[in-house]
Amino acid sequence: MLRNLFRKWRESRNASLQLDAVLTAADPDAPLADRNRWLIELGFWIRRDGMAGVDVDAGERAEGIARSHREHVRMRYLVQVLERHPDWAERFGATVRSIVRDNDPTALFCDTGVASHPGFVGEMVHRLQARFLPPPPNRSDMAALFALLFVGHHDAEWVEALDDELLARLARVLRAGMIDAGQPEAGARSMARYWAALEQMLSTSIAVLVSQVRATGLSQAVRSRLRGRVEDTPFYQLDAAIKALCEPELARTDDAFGHRLNYFRALLDGCHAAAQQVYADLEENGVSVEVVFQIERMKVQLARIELLLAAWVEPGRPGMHAHLVAELIRSTQARRSVSDLAAASFAQLARRVVERSAETGEHYITRDRKEYGELMRAAAGGGLITVATVYLKFLIYGLHLDKFIEGLLASFNYAGSFLAIHFAHFTLATKQPAMTGPALAHRLDAVGRPKGREVFVDDTIAMIRSNAAAIFGNLAWCFPLRSRSNGSPTRSSAPT
């Protein structure tokens, strides 16, 4: 009985309506919630396992099976059925266009993939809520519809891999019914209004993102860390640049549009440079979690502006729309993933630790005689303190105290030794590779260029010379002082 229940449960996961029932249920005049559920059902049919009920032509079957995504085979079969049934194609196109028209895309274009909480715990709770409490389909929100429509882990891959020929056939199906054979001029005007509305969605979303980036860049926390006057910052100039770029009377073929587009993109590059300037100020004067969160969110918004701008300026470029939809799918799924949040947070933390260790390790790499002599003196000081630590350890063990008191005094001995070495700016050879290693690893980013390889080799040699100097400096005091001692316990050892 349990086996039958488990088998039925597994079968129910792939249970959905057949394609003819889905296409028959298409109704452009139905309530928005019903139309959204209809599109979700269609997406489930495209993603479902197996090829049952799918019968494409022989040539298309061979071409589709040769591909790595079964969704492409189902998409070709869907387009093939719609091309053979004009009445279904007309209702299908009208229903999809009404869904796009009645769902607001602003949240999808502007907010998807952008963190809304500065803390790790708050963002994790928000993602868990979004994962286990999906949005209702009756909201006129394209972001909520995307979250319900694309739930597979590889949805973005098969969407981005759609070929131009299949996309062109699908576009013709979606335009079905817009061009009236009896009134071609009216149909052409209807299509022009539809494409103009789509472009308006993109330009409006870009303007919203620009306002968010501008607000972040002109906030006191960020503005106070930038050099120069406020009027000279790229954030202040973004508003006028996007308004000039989105003027309706400006044609894409005009030279003025090209100049304004290049100026706007230059301002975006300036915003990236300003973000790096803020990071440099944080490194020098102290890190603020709130400022780092705002800058990271602004960088995501700048990347989204560049993505939407490319789709708005070059809508006819092959694969542009598929790439845009795939990126939005990735952002939607990453926004719900707790593992992606943890991976990004810990990767950022590890990067900061490595960068800080690399910066500290620069002080332990000698490049001339003066630095070599200073390191030798610092290592000699570290060796002297180490010898004093060992003799103090002998004294503690020689008192034959209680094991707890003995361990406590030994801990204080080692802790005081390392603190004395640190505050006296001495060095210990056994601890030096932990600092010089990250500094050397930091050089690996530039080994792809001849100059970068030369710097890497020079620093490697300097690091080996520095480690040798630290070893000789430590032993310069250890050997003479230990040789003068009359004896020592057998369990004695220097701190490592």
Segment 197-246, tens digit of pLDDT: 778 888 899 999 999 999 999 988 888 888 888 888 899 999 899 988 88
Q: What integer best gives the mean pLDDT of the chain?
A: 78
- The pLDDT-based confidence of 167 (bands split at 50, 70, 90) is confident
Alpha-carbon distance of 280 to 274, in angstroms, equals: 10
Tell whether the model's pLDDT for residue 168 goes beyond 50: yes
Residue 299 lies in a domain: no
In a domain, 330, yes or no: no
Between 283 and 450, residue with greater pLDDT: 450
Residue 297 CB partners (closer than 8 Å, separation 6+)? 114, 115, 216
pLDDT at 81: 92
Whether residue 247 lies inside any domain: the answer is no
pLDDT, average across residues 290-296: 81
pLDDT score for 363: 61
User: For residue 15, is pLDDT > 60?
Assistant: no
Q: Is residue 357 within 8 Å of 432, Cβ to Cβ?
A: no
Domain count, the chain: 1
Is residue 4 assigned to a domain?
no
Q: Which of 111-120, 325-334, 346-355, 487-496 has the highest mean pLDDT?
A: 325-334
pLDDT of residue 491: 45
Residues 234, 274 contacting (CB under 8 angstroms): yes
Distances (CA, A) of 319 to 104, 217, 253, 484: 24, 33, 22, 79
Give the residue numbers spanning the domain of 430: 360-484
The answer to whether 455 touches 446, Cβ cutoff 8 Å, is: yes
- Among 207, 188, 173, 214, smallest CA distance to 79 is for 173
Among residues 394, 393, 471, the alpha carbon closest in space to that of 429 is found at 471
Stretch 412-438: mean pLDDT: 80
Alpha carbon distance 254, 345 (integer Å): 45
Task: Report whether pLDDT(489) > 50.
Answer: no
Residue pair 322/252 in contact (Cβ under 8 Å)? The answer is: no
Answer yes or no: is pLDDT of 261 > 80: yes
- Mean pLDDT within 79-94: 90
Q: Is the pLDDT of residue 442 over 90?
A: no
In angstroms, the CA 109 to CA 304 distance is 8
Query: What's the pLDDT score for residue 262?
Result: 92
Find the distance separating the first CA and the last CA of the chain, reported in whole Å.
Answer: 65
Rounded mean pLDDT of 47-75?
Answer: 61
Residue 448 within a domain: yes
State the sign of the Cα–Cα–Cα–Cα dihedral 205, 209, 214, 215: positive
Closest CA to 322 of 481, 168, 145: 168
Q: What is the mean pLDDT of residues 323-340?
A: 81
> What pLDDT is recorded for position 269?
93
Indicate whether 435 belongs to any domain.
yes
Average pLDDT over residues 305-333: 86
Query: Looking at the predicted structure, is the pLDDT value of residue 181 above 60?
Result: no
Give residue 58's pLDDT.
Answer: 43
Q: Which of 19-23, 217-221, 391-395, 421-425 has the lowest mean pLDDT?
A: 421-425
Whether the pLDDT of residue 72 is over 50: the answer is yes
* CA atoms of 163 and 388, how far apart (whole Å): 74
More confident residue, 329 or 352: 329
- Return the closest-CA partner of residue 268 out of 238, 236, 244, 312: 238
Predicted pLDDT at 80: 92
pLDDT value at residue 360: 54
Looking at residue 268, its pLDDT comes to: 93
- pLDDT band (50, 70, 90) for residue 65: very low
Closest C-alpha among 36, 19, 27 to residue 84: 19
Structure tokens at 302: 């700048």
Q: Examine residue 446 and state whether it is found in any structural domain, yes or no.
A: yes
Task: Let me know if residue 383 belongs to a domain.
Answer: yes
Over residues 60-66, the mean pLDDT reads 46
